[in-house]
Chains A and B, each alone.
Chain A
């Protein structure tokens, strides 16, 4: 069964700092990869997704992620965070043609002014 690891549980950054959140998965075959965000009091929203093609994926609000197959990684990046990026971020993977999505444990990002 596939699994997803997010090693950063809680990250605190100042505004304008650069962000990189790690995500590693364990599955040797074809994968679909996702990053979701949960702002305080709001429902989970899709930030970006990778299905195939260009491994560098751009999402909403200036976020991007790079799929590195050899490292089984899909790290999320943003060059300059804003206070409004304070939220919890979840990485998720779908293995092959499976219907279910497996989520990581999440990373809580706190951006200070």
Chain B
């Protein structure tokens, strides 16, 4: 049950696009299309933003895009806005569930 690997931090300017990677193994991301992403603002509960690799919950902005290639999943946020500044976590099925270590997004 090793955590998925995410970069500790990423940054971008308003209006730009950023991509957060989430690297696993052939036992988790590589084997299942059950990858989800969560956004967490300081002091708040996590919020689902992507499920099943690339699906968005109803009402969520289409600026958030999920994808997967091999053992790596990615979250792309386009048209960065100040309110996107938060921590982002990936999650995958692995027989049980495993989260990534989290990525802090800073909007410059």
Do A and B make up one complex? Answer: no
Q: Which residues of A contact B (CB under 8 A)?
A: none
